[in-house]
């Protein structure tokens, strides 16, 4: 039995997998992410001990922050500041007596979509999450060799953009596509912004299309699975985005599709961390 855990800035979910050959899992726990590291660690241990199986092959964790190069802890996590530098993998492994693997959430989302979703037959592909922030991971593979890594797609600079980003740079893509930044600028939830700013989604897709064309030209990625609350709740965005990408991109093509596993992709991909060689992930 395997456990996949998805730790986001607001909530944590865990699922139990009988096998890693299927994306099906039994929900194990769901609770608000504790802001303190020790409380969160204890909540995870309790959840696994109270409803987990007797024999556990391992735990994979998808987490909302960039993981340190050695894969042991979080290196950068604006939404989980108390976790930065804490030995999460080692602490959980000691308390639950099994191996624990950790990766940034878009990496896990990509692994799940690569194994079970629309990216199945593509060796150069990406996973994009359009939510509070704008995150992505890319997978570059050839026969038996591959590398999967998360990238800061939301913090690429767009020429002429003078908006300050929450990351400290000026001109980032995420100033147009990040849910948190849009809400701060307009003073209301994303779902209510279009009522006062009719060009919201047109501009959103124009800017995101630029970011995706840059991605295709810089990495040779050919397919992107798109997830995240903003994309999943506004399904009209994807065809508009595809149209804008097609109008700009030359010498290559980029096929956009919704993440087949929806919001479960990071949790499913977390469990898959137990089944793939660690050296194929560049943290």
Where do contacts with Zn ion occur on this chain (CB under 5 A)?
A: 155, 165, 167, 169, 172
> What is the rounded distance in angstroms from the CA atom of residue 226 to the CA atom of residue 242?
11
Considering beta carbons, is residue 135 or 266 the nearer one to Zn ion? 135
Q: At what angle do helices 88-96 and 37-51 cross, to 10 degrees?
A: 30
Considering beta carbons, is residue 84 or 167 the nearer one to Zn ion? 167
- Min dist. Cβ of residue 129 to Zn ion (A): 15
- Min dist. Cβ of residue 215 to Zn ion (A): 16
Ranges of beta strands (E only) in 177-236 are 223-227
Q: Hey, what are 56's tokens?
A: 């556990």
Q: Hey, what are 257's tokens?
A: 């599709």
> What is the rounded distance in angstroms from the CA atom of residue 35 to the CA atom of residue 81?
8
Considering beta carbons, is residue 157 or 195 the nearer one to Zn ion? 157
From residue 159, how far is each of 44, 207, 244, 248 by CA, in Å? Answer: 44, 11, 18, 16
- Min dist. Cβ of residue 175 to Zn ion (A): 7
Considering beta carbons, is residue 61 or 165 the nearer one to Zn ion? 165
Of 111, 100, 173, 170, residue with least CA distance to 138: 111
Considering beta carbons, is residue 78 or 141 the nearer one to Zn ion? 78
Q: Hey, what are 176's tokens?
A: 């147009």
Considering beta carbons, is residue 86 or 180 the nearer one to Zn ion? 180
Considering beta carbons, is residue 71 or 171 the nearer one to Zn ion? 171
Residue 69 burial (CB < 10 Å; 0-12/13-18/19+)? exposed
- Min dist. Cβ of residue 21 to Zn ion (A): 39
- Are 278 and 239 in contact by the 8 Å Cβ rule? The answer is no
Considering beta carbons, is residue 51 or 203 the nearer one to Zn ion? 203
> What is the rounded distance in angstroms from the CA atom of residue 177 to the CA atom of residue 194?
13
Collapsed DSSP state (helix, strand, coil) of residue 213: helix
> What is the rounded distance in angstroms from the CA atom of residue 67 to the CA atom of residue 250?
34
φ, ψ at 11 (rounded to 5°): -135, 160
């Amino acid at each position: 039995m395997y456990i996949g855990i998805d730790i986001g800035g607001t909530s944590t979910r865990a699922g139990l997998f009988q096998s890693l050959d299927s994306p099906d899992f039994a929900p194990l726990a769901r609770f608000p992410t504790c802001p303190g590291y020790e409380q969160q660690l204890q909540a995870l241990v309790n959840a696994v001990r109270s409803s987990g199986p007797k024999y556990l092959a391992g735990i994979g964790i998808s987490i909302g922050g960039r993981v340190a190069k050695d894969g042991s802890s979080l290196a950068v996590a604006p939404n989980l500041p108390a976790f930065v530098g804490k030995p999460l993998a080692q602490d959980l492994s000691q308390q639950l007596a099994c191996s624990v693997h950790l990766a940034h959430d878009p990496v896990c989302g990509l692994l799940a979509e690569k194994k079970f979703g629309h990216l199945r037959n593509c060796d150069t592909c990406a996973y994009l999450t359009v939510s509070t922030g704008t995150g992505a991971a890319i997978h570059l593979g050839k026969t038996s060799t591959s590398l999967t890594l998360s990238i800061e797609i939301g913090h690429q600079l767009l020429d002429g953009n003078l908006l300050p980003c929450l990351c400290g740079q000026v001109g980032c893509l995420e100033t147009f596509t990040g849910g948190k930044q849009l809400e701060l600028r307009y003073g209301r939830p994303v779902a209510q912004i279009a009522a006062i700013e009719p060009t919201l989604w047109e501009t959103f897709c124009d800017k995101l299309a630029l970011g995706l064309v840059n991605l295709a030209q810089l990495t040779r990625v050919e397919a992107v699975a798109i997830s995240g609350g903003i994309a999943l709740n506004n399904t009209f965005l994807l065809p508009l985005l595809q149209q804008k990408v097609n109008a700009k991109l030359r010498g290559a093509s980029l096929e956009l599709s919704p993440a087949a596993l929806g919001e479960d992709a990071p949790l499913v991909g977390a469990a898959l961390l137990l089944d793939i060689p660690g050296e194929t992930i560049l943290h």
